[in-house]
A and B are shown apart, each in its own frame.
Chain A
């Protein structure tokens, strides 16, 4: 396929260049084509395909009718390749003359185009802090050029992964995390509501050769060698509920009084029903109900019980600190939230994210931020915390704060969402990298396109036709909106010697 001509430019504008396809070449939607000139070359991307014909529409309709009705025996299109063909509509995405630039010229009129090769993409280099995404994709063809994001920049500038169900977003996240583990250059917190990243019963992040010491897994049902997800009630502060649970003014007042009286044990005492001066018993009852509903914490036979086993009055004092320290040490921390409720999940995330955010604020004020690795929080179904309605009803939360301000403090968000349109524009605009997976909903595509880093106005059809594992990376850090093929995780990890690096047991000398 390498240098063979696949079409010829016949007309168009900068935003819509018309290319006649050479017969047999099968130009595809999303194909990257190259038009060479004396100084370099232009990379074009196909966004639409239409039929072209030298025969009029009426004549074609008649001919089709004849064929369908069995009247066309012995008749055919002579020289079909000349008279019926495909016209590809493409736009110039990059001009390369030594280095890549935004294109400002048209390709030479009537110049031929060819399919892109890996040599044309030599400017895509591996950054020093790489997050692997996949290989460049041209249509459905995979070009052997790896695509990375520079983690040190992309993570703190936030990433959005918009996609409908079944398009491979979990696979994408696993591939990204796999490439991150062991680098120790950024800390990643993953709130995993489907318990799909660690690999409890299948291949997952646990199989990474450098998982030991670089990957932490927390679950209420922790497999051997992993950490139990348990958070002490004393770690919860009232501000952690911001944007997750709304309290009335009276409830806020009551909470303050309990804090004053019991400091870190404020929540425990509410749950236990300890009376405090100035708190109406009815307010206390409502607070207990809220805590029971949101956190599944209540008193039974004098003992504090948490039905989802996440919160405790005896254990988990250092869980949050440990997680935060691990993130600061550049580790990946996966928290299995599949068995706990939405609110509990968001609360835990809020606690950790808040802790990191405020710590990093402090580092910045002391001039120490430069030595700290960026930290990012991966949150699924991002509208739960970033949706307009949610923010309007419950007010801002730590996630929206990070989305708006986190960049200054090297704290970022990776938001995964099916509904981009419900996220406020100012937040979307701050999410400077979008890894766009397939989406069949037109309003969602428009919301994505409207906030993308490159002009994707013509890519509506492209995005609608993205198959599982196909994506477009639109980022202020990429030269153009790069179409990629994300490898299947299970295949991807084979090349990394997954699970091979465990210490040989014979080497462990046991001293009894």
Chain B
């Protein structure tokens, strides 16, 4: 019986994903101007010699303690530098920064705000973490709300990490990179939160000053085509049907008209054996000034770095950055215990627990379920 239902579902799905018509790239119309699919937009990535360095940046954060009205998180931003496949040792700034963030619900201006305080783990990181004044958000900010519900404090708390990525990236550009080098953030260059665009602009400014190319590569993309297909899936199908070569980039897809997303988009296939294509963005102003040869050279360096057998087609620098930025569960537990111990020493546990218990019913159920 169940088997029959499964067959029905799959058949339905198969029918809905109709690749016969790829449609057109679809992004929200007032911020972007899209370009129709065109086979001419596929360009091969030719391997050329280059000494451009690539800096990869990624961040991670994890919640240590939470309640509806507070969230304590550990945040970590990490970077590395590669020249092709070879790692280059950084020398001027720490390779990773860590800080705790404590986000609280604060009632002001007749509204609940979520304010975040930042506590660098080392004094050395003080200048590398975001300003607390930039980390105050209205809980009813549409960009943060979930449906019609107030923003989730945990999600808000993670914004500090995002800001820190921008700020740290700026420092990396200023201290570790030179003319022609490339900085690759993990994720899109789109700024989504209040004040985030300022951080982005500072980073871009620094990049322009040093002629460092500022870019971002997204692991995932939720963009679509007009026929309901995922954009990346459609482009990939297009490439297969058009028998495009092993390494390619697709450009243009859409032009950004939004000051919150100053970027030029590419869809890239970075290795012959890659099973995935990715969205790659370059800071718009810089992209416009790059020649096709320069674009090829940048993408070529990315290709050279994307030959790791664990994830063909994805830059090894980002794999490494992801691993090292991630806050692992076992680390978490150590810190959690330390925090709880301090809370207990203060005699504040009853107070803390009252609030924590108002939001942890799910975990209790999970425990009950086993």
Contact = CB atoms under 8 A, between A and B. Distances in A.
A79 B316 contact: yes
Interface string B287-322: 000000000000000000101111010001000100
A77 B85 CA distance: 10
Contacts of A55: 310
B167 interface: no
A85 to B, nearest CB: 14
Interface string A56-85: 000100010011000111111111000000
B309 A66 contact: yes
B315 to A, nearest CB: 10
Q: Using C-beta atoms within 8 Å of the partner chain, give the interface range for chain B.
A: 10 to 19
B271 A75 contact: yes
B309 A77 contact: yes
B272 interface: yes
Given A54-B323, A78-B316, A79-B316, A71 B307 contact: no
Nearest to A64: B309
Interface string A201-238: 00000000000000000000000000000000000000
Given A67-B309, A74-B307, A75-B307, 6 more contacts: A73-B272, A73-B273, A74-B271, A75-B273, A75-B308, A76-B307
A334 to B, nearest CB: 63
A74 B87 contact: no
B323 A72 contact: no
B320 A79 contact: yes
Contacts of B271: 74-75
Contacts of B310: 55, 59, 63, 77
Interface string B165-204: 0000000000000000000000000000000000000000
Contacts of B320: 79
B264 to A, nearest CB: 28
A185 to B, nearest CB: 60
A71 B312 CA distance: 11
Contacts of A67: 309
Contacts of A74: 271-273, 307
A57 to B, nearest CB: 12
Interface string B238-278: 00000000000000000000000000000000011100000
7 contacts: A59-B310, A67-B309, A74-B271, A74-B272, A74-B273, A74-B307, A78-B307
Contacts of A76: 307-309
B53 to A, nearest CB: 15
Contacts of A54: 323
A74 B272 CA distance: 8
Contacts of B309: 63, 66-67, 72, 75-77
Interface in A68-113: 71-79
A67 B323 CA distance: 24
A79 B273 contact: no
Given A54-B323, A78-B85, A79-B316, A72 B308 contact: no
A144 B320 CA distance: 43
Contacts of A78: 85, 305, 307-308, 316
Interface string B74-93: 00000000000101000000
Nearest to A55: B310
Query: 8 closest pairs, A vs B, by CB?
Result: A75-B309, A78-B316, A78-B308, A63-B309, A55-B310, A78-B85, A75-B312, A75-B307
A74 B271 CA distance: 9
Contacts of A77: 308-310
A54 B309 CA distance: 13
A54 B323 CA distance: 9
Interface string A478-510: 000000000000000000000000000000000
B301 to A, nearest CB: 14
A55 B319 CA distance: 11
A67 B308 CA distance: 12
A78 B305 CA distance: 8
A73 B320 CA distance: 22
Contacts of A59: 310
Interface string A32-73: 000000000000000000000011000100010011000111
A78 B87 CA distance: 9
A76 B311 CA distance: 10
Instruction: Give the interface centre of B271, B307, B309, B310 by most chain A CB atoms within 10 Å.
Output: B309
Nearest to A54: B323
Nearest to A53: B310
Nearest to B80: A79
A72 B273 contact: yes
Contacts of A66: 273, 309
